[in-house]
Amino acid sequence: MDEALAWKRGHRVVLNLHWVFRPLTTTPSSWRVCSDWPGHCPSPPGFQLVSSLLCQSQQEALSDASPNLRTAAFLKYYLKCFVYLAQLEALNIPYTLEMFMSSPKEGMIKGLWKNHSNEPQAVRLVADLCLEYQVYDLQLWNSVLQKLLSFNMTVYLQKVLEALMAVPSLLEGQGLSRTWRNVIQAPFLTASLPLSPQQQDIMYKTFVLLLKCPFLLTLDLVAIAKRFSQFNLQAFSLGALLLIPCVSKKNPHIQSFLSSCNPILTLDQVEETMATGELAGVPSQIRDTVFMFLCGNGRAQTLIKSKHFTHLKRHLITNTNSDIVEDLLNRLVQQNSEEEAVSFAQEYLTYRELKGGEASDAVREFLEKTMESRGTKI
Mean local confidence (pLDDT), 282-299: 93
Q: How far apart are CA 14 and CA 318, in angstroms?
A: 48
196 secondary structure, DSSP code: P
Mean local confidence (pLDDT), 313-324: 82
Q: How far apart are CA 213 and CA 241, in angstroms?
A: 14
Mean local confidence (pLDDT), 340-360: 80
Q: In b/e form, how buried is each residue of 79-109, taking b as 16+ CB within 10 angstroms? A: bbebbbbbbbbbbebebebeeeeeeeebebb
Q: What share of the chain is helix, strand, coil (3-state, %, to 5)?
A: 70, 0, 30
pTM of the predicted structure, to 2 decimals = 0.75
Domain-by-domain residue ranges, the chain?
Answer: 1-103, 220-297, 300-378
Q: Report pLDDT for 374.
A: 64
Report whether 173 contacts 142 (CB < 8 A): yes
Mean pLDDT comparison of 48-52, 84-88, 239-243, highest-scoring range:
239-243
Mean pLDDT comparison of 72-81, 184-193, 220-229, highest-scoring range:
220-229
Mean pLDDT comparison of 22-26, 37-41, 68-72, 118-122, highest-scoring range:
118-122
